[in-house]
Amino acid sequence: MPHQKRRKDLRNIAIIAHVDHGKTTLVDALLRETHAHKFKEGDVTIMDSNPLERERGITIFSKNASLQYKDIRINIVDTPGHADFGSEVERILRMVDGVLLLVDAFEGPMPQTKFVLRKSLELHLKPILVVNKIDRPGSRPHEVVDLTFDLFCELNATDEQLDFPIVFTSAKEGKATLDLDEEAVDMKPLLETIIHRVLPPVADPELPFQMLVTMLDYDSYIGRISTGRVVHGSVKSGETIALVKRDGEIRRGRVTKILSYQGLRRIEAESGQAGDILSIAGLDDVKVGETLADAANPMALKTIKVDEPTISMNFSHNTSPFAGRDGGRFLTSRHIRERLEHEAMMNVGIKVEPTENGEAYKVSGRGELHLSILIETMRREGYELEVSRPQVILRTIDEEVVEPVEEVFVEVDEGYQGAVIQALGSRMAEMRSMQVSAIGTIRLEFLVASRALIGFRGEFLTMTRGTGIMYQNFYKYQPFKGEMPSRHVGVLISQQEGAAVAYALWGLQERGALFVRPGEDLYEGMIIGSTNKGQDMVVNAQREKKLTNIRAAGSDEAIQLVPVQDMTLEFALEFIDDDELVEVTPKHIRLRKKILNDSERRRSYKKS
């Protein structure tokens, strides 16, 4: 085997971690240390630029940063920590030669750590263990190192991968050390470890140009932008290159712009060479996993295998009586179709197919969070749409129907473990382990069919008084597990259009939980609450108190209403049943029956 050429002046690394272990804060610290970004007063988690990421405190979209240390450029990619964005993680890891595995010095390795680490070990990447938050009260760094070593063994890491360097950090304070007995001063120990332990990228500038497209972006000014790592050769602005499609078809186009990274900014470059992470504009019909190559010698690279979608939902334009009232700018099915096609083009984990009636589109993704992020993004962009209940995608393998099964990790206080075990037991869950964590909570691990988890998260939070923590990762497909218990509550359905009246709601609240407040506009067929009994009830929420000229003792008491259930998108998607829809507009999230009229609804039930 010929000796591989490597670029000594470059290192490409990804940061992988569980949600909320401090990935983005660590990148802040490295950018500050190397003066790669001008921070304003109060700037934190600078990589989480998307408003949804800031609100939820999680990384959803992977992003690149570049910094210069000594005479070496370090490209850093921040990856999502949530299993629903597995397709994103898988692609990003193809661009790098090493990973920083970030673990909380108090919590230790968590479920998502296992998921992302498994992906990186499969790609034979060398990890650097970063034990973060050593300044946190109750931190136990040495114990966490042992637990992480056990995790590596469990994931069948090679001897070379088990010989990982360890750096202890406090990203918040911008300090790192290789030895806890020595005082940490700055982030230099971590930067030195990256330079010495991450291999320089294999890169031969003499070979014909090849780049695997791992991310796509769109700019209304320069068109579609393909991002990836240049594997071989070099590329210049203005030259003609080839696009090798998945099916082997070759198209040619001219490079109109090359962008590279400086800190967090994209800057225009004249050229790029093997090892660089670049963004190239000029080719329009690009998809993730395809190869940009030398026009004279177009050779394809191995394409990316993406996790298959496990959940689907139907998206269609808003058909409620209130359509167009909430300031939505995109109201037609054509608008919805164009937006979903654009998303499927950029987001390799999403699949869009037309349905039989032609008005709705079946959108498949990796999980409820994956799809709810898309819905929330569309809502903020001014779309009005209605979505159906999430459905699990079943497959047939060797003439046997199989369904996706997830690993579920639950952490609860001791008093709630019985209720949680019972609730998951009724959903045919298989318990794999139970142990006491470092802080005295109970950690439970289950295998549960994805189908059984739809709607469980809200119930779980109620059951544990909001104190429970639950994570889930896709495990594998297993034989279909039969009928599952469905929603055990019925719903209160508005009888007519009009504003909700406090007096009417006061009379209804003893029947169950309300979703609407006095004064809110309602329409016929809209769901305004849940009933304690399993049946649906059509109710009059506009009924006013009859006024007479006789005063009766006790009849003029002040009306006291119980606080209503906040209508979040997650709650709505988990709550609805098969004959219901979630209406999503820029200002409101409402629940409704698919068939709004009561007598028509009853006729349709009889037919079915």
Angle at 165 between CA 143 and CA 134, to 5 degrees: 45
Does 245 count as an annotated binding residue?
Answer: no
Amino acid at 209: F
> How many CA atoms within 13 Å lie on the side-chain side of 48?
22
Closest alpha carbon to 88 in 367, 466, 279, 476? 367
**The tokens of 543 are what?**
């009924």
CA 307 to chain centre: 14
Does 133 count as an annotated binding residue?
Answer: yes
Question: Which residues, 6 or more positions from 298, have their beta carbon under 8 angstroms from its beta carbon?
Answer: 242, 244, 250, 291
Q: 């199989």: which residue's tokens?
A: 402
The torsion angles phi and psi of 15, rounded to 5 degrees, stand at -105, 125
The beta-strand segments (E) located in 442-536 are 442-449, 469-479, 490-494, 498-499, 512-514, 521-522, 526-531
List b or e across 361-372, with b for residues whose CB sees 16 or more CB atoms inside 10 angstroms: bbbbbbbbbbbb
Secondary element (H or E) of residue 190:
helix 188-197
Amino acid at 423: A
Other C-beta atoms lying within 10 Å of the C-beta of residue 74: 20
Q: How far is it, in rounded angstroms, from Cα 94 to Cα 127? A: 14
Does 20 count as an annotated binding residue?
Answer: yes
Q: 């034990």: which residue's tokens?
A: 131
DSSP codes, 279-346: EEES-SS--TT-EEEESSS--PPPPPP-PPP-EEEEEEE--STTTTTT--SB-SHHHHHHHHHHHHHH
**The tokens of 505 are what?**
């709601």
Q: How far is it, in rounded angstroms, from Cα 232 to Cα 384? A: 46
> How many CA atoms within 13 Å lie on the side-chain side of 316?
15
Does 135 count as an annotated binding residue?
Answer: yes
Q: How far is it, in rounded angstroms, from Cα 261 to Cα 279? A: 9
Closest alpha carbon to 345 in 296, 290, 388? 290
List b or e across 394-415, with b for residues whose CB sees 16 or more CB atoms inside 10 angstroms: eeeeeeeebbbbbbbbbbbeee
Specify whether the backbone of 115 is left (phi greater than 0), alpha (psi in -120 to 50) or beta.
alpha
Does 24 count as an annotated binding residue?
Answer: yes
Does 23 count as an annotated binding residue?
Answer: yes
Q: How far is it, in rounded angstroms, from Cα 316 to Cα 362? A: 9
Binding-site residues from annotation = 20-25, 132-135
Binding-site residues from annotation for GTP = 20-25, 132-135
